Amino acid sequence: MSQSNSLAGKNVAVVTDSMYEDLEVWYPVIRLREAGAEVKVLGLHESGKILKSEHGYEVREDMPISSARAEDFDAVVLPGGMAPDELRRHEPVLQFLRDADSQNKVIASICHGPQLLISAGLLKGRTITCVDSIKSDLINAGANYVDQELVRDGNLISSRTPEDLPAFGRELVSALSQVKAAPMIG
C-alpha cells in the first residue's frame, strides 16, 4: 500500500475548541489526510462553526462532540493550546474519551491535551508526557510522567510540544495502520 493511502478507511476525531495551538491541530490533520484517513474536527458547537487558534488560524468544526460516538472512530487526537482547559469542563467530551479508552481506541495527546485525560480520569498508573507546565497535574492524577518527545503506553500516545510533532505523527500513523477500521461515518 502506498504512503498516500496507508490509512484509507480509518476515521480520526480531532477534539478541539477555539484557542488551540495551530501546529498541534493542523500537523496531525494534514499528515493523517495525506495518509488516506478521514479526519473530523469535533468540538462543543454546531457543525460548521469556525474555531480560531491562538494565532488566529481557522478550522471548521465538522460535528459537535455531543453527536459523536467513540465507536465510529479509530483514533482521537487531543491537541494543546488553551482549548483543552475549556473542553475539560464539558461532560460529553469526557464521556467520549472514556468510551474511546474503554474501546481501546488510539488516543494521542500533545502539549496541554492530556488535561482532558486527567479530567476524564484516565491516567492513574499510565505513563505519559506533556508540556512541562502541566507535569504536576499529571503526577497528581496518578500518572507516571516522563520527559521524552514521545511516549506510548498501550493505546495512549503523547508528546510534549510542537517540536515533537514529527515523532508524534510517525507514531500516530504507525498505530493507526495496525488497527481494524471503524465503520465509515457520514
Catalytic residue among 45, 55, 90, 112: 112
Catalytic residue among 45, 55, 90, 111: 111
Look up 111 and say whether it is catalytic. Answer: yes
- The radius of gyration of the chain from alpha carbons, rounded to an integer in Å, stands at 15
Look up 130 and say whether it is catalytic. Answer: no
What is the rounded CA–CA span in Å between residue 141 and residue 66? 25
What is the rounded CA–CA span in Å between residue 162 and residue 149? 10
Task: Please list the active-site residues.
Answer: 111-112
